[in-house]
């Protein structure tokens, strides 16, 4: 896998693992139509549920983490469909209403409340 994609995925997968959410298997598909992008596949354990993930190369790390976090979040929420908790990661201020969203602020990718914009945690530090 491309080192920049691996570096962007690491903090996001740490958050998935730390919060007990389903962790995707990351499969290097070794192919990208765009030389400015590195790609891989996110896959569930049984291979049933896959989704692509990509990162724009040569961009600042917080921007890459933010890009990847949104795709991993979509995969996790899809994987949780049919369970009682599909808002991942839940907003600590509104736990039954919406998940957090990633924004780049002050030089870091941060999970933030989409309603009031409050930053909750730097991506990679959820517990």
By CB under 5 A, residue 113 contacts Zn ion: yes
By CB under 5 A, residue 94 contacts Zn ion: yes
User: Angle 79-82-87 (CA atoms, 0-180°, nearest 5)?
Assistant: 65
By CB under 5 A, residue 115 contacts Zn ion: yes
By CB under 5 A, residue 91 contacts Zn ion: yes
* Burial environment of residue 123 by CB neighbours within 10 A (0 to 12, 13 to 18, 19 or more): buried
Interacting span for Zn ion (CB under 5 A) from 2-10, 49-57, 75-83, 112-120: 112-120
Binding track over 69-88 against Zn ion, x by CB under 5 A: --------------------
What is the rounded CA–CA span in Å between residue 108 and residue 124? 11
Query: Which secondary-structure segment (H or E) carries 62?
Result: helix 61-80
Kindly list the residues in this chain that would bind Zn ion in the complex (CB under 5 A). Answer: 91, 93-94, 113, 115
């Amino acid at each position: 896998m491309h080192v920049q994609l691996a570096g962007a995925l690491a903090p996001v997968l740490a958050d998935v693992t730390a919060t007990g959410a389903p962790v995707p298997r990351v499969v290097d598909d070794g192919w990208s139509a765009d030389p400015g992008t590195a790609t891989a596949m996110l896959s569930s354990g049984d291979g049933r549920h896959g989704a692509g993930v990509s990162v724009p190369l040569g961009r600042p790390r917080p921007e890459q983490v933010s890009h990847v976090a949104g795709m991993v979040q979509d995969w996790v929420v899809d994987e949780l469909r049919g369970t009682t908790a599909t808002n991942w990661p839940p907003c600590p201020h509104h736990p039954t209403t919406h998940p957090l969203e990633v924004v780049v602020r002050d030089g870091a990718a941060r999970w933030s409340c989409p309603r009031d914009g409050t930053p909750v945690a730097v991506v990679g530090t959820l517990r």
